[in-house]
Amino acid sequence: MIFLYLFSMLIGITFGVAGGALVGRVIAGKDLGNSFAALMGSLFGSTAAIPGVLVGLLVLFFIS
């Protein structure tokens, strides 16, 4: 069971980082440059994804 929680946390954080990088590149690619915008987006994507994944896993833990 612990493997499932760790695997879902890894997948959630990975998708958060990837989504943040893509959105950062689309929004600020022209202004900051594509690579720097993707770097900033991945940092902000991970700061949003980590608490969301942890809260979701805590809710699932208490429900099941």
Nearest Cα to Cα of residue 52 among 3, 38, 28, 44: 44
Instruction: Quote the CA–CA distance of 30 and 55 in Å, as a whole number.
Output: 35
Q: Is the pLDDT of residue 64 over 90?
A: no
29's CB contacts (< 8 A; 6+ apart) are: 37, 38
pLDDT, tens only, 3-51:
988 999 999 999 999 999 999 999 999 999 999 999 999 999 999 899 9
Contact of 47 with 19, CB cutoff 8 Å:
no
In DSSP notation, 31-58 reads: HH-HHHHHHHHHHHHHHHHHHHHHHHHH
* pLDDT of the residue at 58: 93
